[in-house]
Amino acid sequence: MGRNGSQVFEGIQRAVVDNVKAERAELSQSFVRNLSAASAQVQQSAVQNLNAEHARVEQGAVVSARAREAHLKGSAAVNLVAGSVSAEECRVVFLLSPSVTGNVRAVVTPAVAFAFGAGYFVARRILGGFLRPGKG
């Protein structure tokens, strides 16, 4: 057992698993709903929720990931929050990281989110004047 009561190493190959909690986890051609590890390596696998200090995803898919360091290669993610991201040929819908290197395509970045928010506020102010019932 590890420091926090989890297994020290968990290796999963060609399996469907609900929860994995380990100091170090390696997935290959598998699906895991919740993965929590200090170090996670995901290869040709899918993970719904990933929480790790160090995460490496190669030719995989992640719905939601939180990591201090994330390395992605040929992968996709819906929501990625990381202290630093390095990527090669990756696609991410929502990306939040102060440090991004490599080739990653983010659909919604903080700048885009701010622009959408500002546009919504302005449109609401303009349309608000037209939609108010007339006086008198």
Neighbours of 84 (CB within 10 A): 14
Please state the rounded mean pLDDT for residues 8-18.
83
How far apart are alpha carbons 69 and 85 in whole angstroms? Answer: 6
pLDDT mean over 72-84: 96
Q: CA angle at residue 17 from 11 to 20, to 5 degrees?
A: 55
CB 105 within 8 A of CB 91: yes
Tell me what pLDDT residue 1 has. Answer: 45
Distance separating alpha carbons of residues 101 and 2, to the nearest angstrom: 32
pTM over 0.85: no
Per-domain residue ranges of the chain: 7-109
Alpha carbons 24 and 8: distance in angstroms, whole number: 6
Looking at residue 6, what is its pLDDT?
56
Rounded to the nearest integer, the mean pLDDT of the chain is 87
The enclosing H or E element of 70 equals strand 61-73
What pLDDT is stored for residue 124 in this prediction?
83
> pLDDT digit string (tens) for 52-64?
999 999 999 999 9
Q: What is the DSSP letter of 105?
A: E
* Least confident interval from 2-11, 14-23, 43-52, 80-89: 2-11
List pLDDT tens digits, range 101-128: 998 887 877 778 888 888 888 888 888 7
Cβ neighbours of residue 44 closer than 8 Å, sequence gap 6 or more: 28, 29, 58, 59, 60
